Amino acid sequence: MRNRQFRPVPHASQGGFSLIEIILVVVLIGGIVAFAATRILGGGDRAKVNLAKAQVQTLAEKVGQFQQDTGSLPGSLDDLVKSSATGWLGPYAKQSELKDPWNHPYTYAMPGEGKPFDLASLGADGQAGGDSVNADIKYE
């Protein structure tokens, strides 16, 4: 028999990541997800503002239809849904259409300031005034 020399098998170095590296990656991924979520969810506010602008215009047209049919403006937006006015051919709107995208009722005043009527959404906060998504959206 030949004399074989046995050499010790080198230990395979442990591959993988340290706990610090794993934590760092998780934090980085969390930051990216948080950034992306704010960008995506921020678009929802912009969409609600645009929807409110369109709904204010549509509701104003329905007020105009009511006026054409009855000869007078509605006393309140509820008259678009149900009214006993002479010549009323409605309903001109559904009850759900009388609320803005933030589920606040539209404001309606007759007579308006320099116009036959005022119609507006008070924005996300439901309060007069404000800026950004809290700004009033008025019928012009």
More confident residue, 31 or 52: 52
pLDDT at 134 over 80: no
Question: Given this model, what pLDDT does residue 38 score?
Answer: 67
The CA–CA distances, whole Å, from 116 to 4, 67, 110 equal 108, 11, 6
Query: What is the tens place of the pLDDT at every residue in 67-117?
Result: 999 998 999 899 999 988 888 887 888 888 899 888 999 999 888 788 898
**Predicted model pTM:** 0.66
What domains appear along the chain, each with residue ranges and CATH number?
46-138 (3.30.700.10)
Query: What is the tens place of the pLDDT at every residue in 3-41?
Result: 667 666 665 556 677 888 888 888 888 888 877 776 766
Chain length of the chain: 140
The span from the CA of 106 to the CA of 42, in Å, is: 23
The span from the CA of 43 to the CA of 71, in Å, is: 41
The span from the CA of 109 to the CA of 119, in Å, is: 7
